[in-house]
Amino acid sequence: MEWDWAFVWQIMPTLLEGLKITIVATVLGAIVAAVVGLVLAIARRSPNPLVSRPVGFLADFIRGTPLLVQLYFIFYVLPDIGIRLSPLTAGVIGLGIHYGTYAAEVYRAGIDNVPSGQWEAARATNLSVRQAWIHIVLPQAIPPMIPALANYFIAMFKETPLLSAITVLELMNQAKSVANSSYRYIEPITMVGVFFLVISLISVVALRFLEERYARVDER
């Protein structure tokens, strides 16, 4: 079978439609992951072992099991207990929770990097724990984490084709349905690969820029 450019142009609108959903899922997933990660990281540092232990185990469990199975779990099991989610919502929650556990490790490293003198100074000036977190620790901890977080969000972008398994009509699913109806697999699947490669390569350049901009911890 030969490569057919006319067919590529013909399917392009459908693929771009899918790409839009892929990007929406990535952005929403990244937001959920950033929030979930922060909550997990703070809960894991809790002085109460009844909080920190189970949270730590849960995070390890989520990180040690496949995203695909977690998506199935959210999509098929939750309706049994009355939580009915649209495919895209289920996908975003799955991506967000899965990558949130990775983001939690990045936050943890970032928070550990804030010198303990900053904590002590915050306490000495009579700031509450909440104020110390919001005004002292997090503003210093977050900028150096940005490149590492961005790295995970690129990884998450590359995992979004899994959402096609729970019937989200993203890029991969659009390509599959085009392939199934026309019996041509070469162009759709290859174009999906090309889209991902191009976007990943662009994000790698953006990542380099973020590293230049934020990763200089020593210049503080």
Partner 1 sequence: MIDWSGYIGLILQGALVTIELTVLGSALALVMAFAAGLGRLSRFAGVRVLATVYIEFFRGTSIFVQLFWAYFVLPFAGITLTPLQAGVLALGLNVGAYGAEVVRGAVRAIGREQHEACVALNLGRYHRMRHVILPQALPLMLPTFGNNAIELLKGTAVVSLISLTDMTFQAQVVRAQTGSTLIPFATILVLYFAMAMAISAGMRWLERRASRGLDGVRV
Residues of this chain that interact with partner 1 (CB under 8 A) are 1, 61, 64-70, 72-73, 76-77, 80, 158-162, 165, 172, 176, 179, 185-186, 189-190, 192-193, 196-197, 200-201, 204
| Least distance to partner 1, CB of residue 211, Å | 16
Residue closer to partner 1 (CB basis): 137 or 199: 199
Q: Within 10 A of 175 (CB to CB), how many other CB atoms are there?
A: 25
| Least distance to partner 1, CB of residue 54, Å | 15
Q: Which residue has the tokens 């191009």?
A: 198
* Exposure letters 30-43 (e unless 16+ CB within 10 A, then b): bebbbebbbebbbb
For residue 126, which phi and psi values (nearest 5 degrees)? 65, 30
Residue closer to partner 1 (CB basis): 102 or 141: 102
| Least distance to partner 1, CB of residue 24, Å | 17
| Least distance to partner 1, CB of residue 158, Å | 4
CA pair distance 196, 156, nearest whole angstrom: 12
Residue closer to partner 1 (CB basis): 11 or 162: 162
SS3 at position 166: helix
Residue closer to partner 1 (CB basis): 146 or 179: 179
Find the angle CA(10)-CA(12)-CA(14) to the nearest 5 degrees: 100
Decide if 99 contacts 153 (C-beta within 8 A): yes
| Least distance to partner 1, CB of residue 37, Å | 18
Residue closer to partner 1 (CB basis): 9 or 57: 57
| Least distance to partner 1, CB of residue 66, Å | 4
CA pair distance 126, 120, nearest whole angstrom: 10
Residue closer to partner 1 (CB basis): 11 or 42: 11
Q: Please report which residue ranges of 113-218 form alpha helices under DSSP H.
A: 116-124, 129-131, 138-159, 171-182, 186-214
CA pair distance 206, 184, nearest whole angstrom: 34
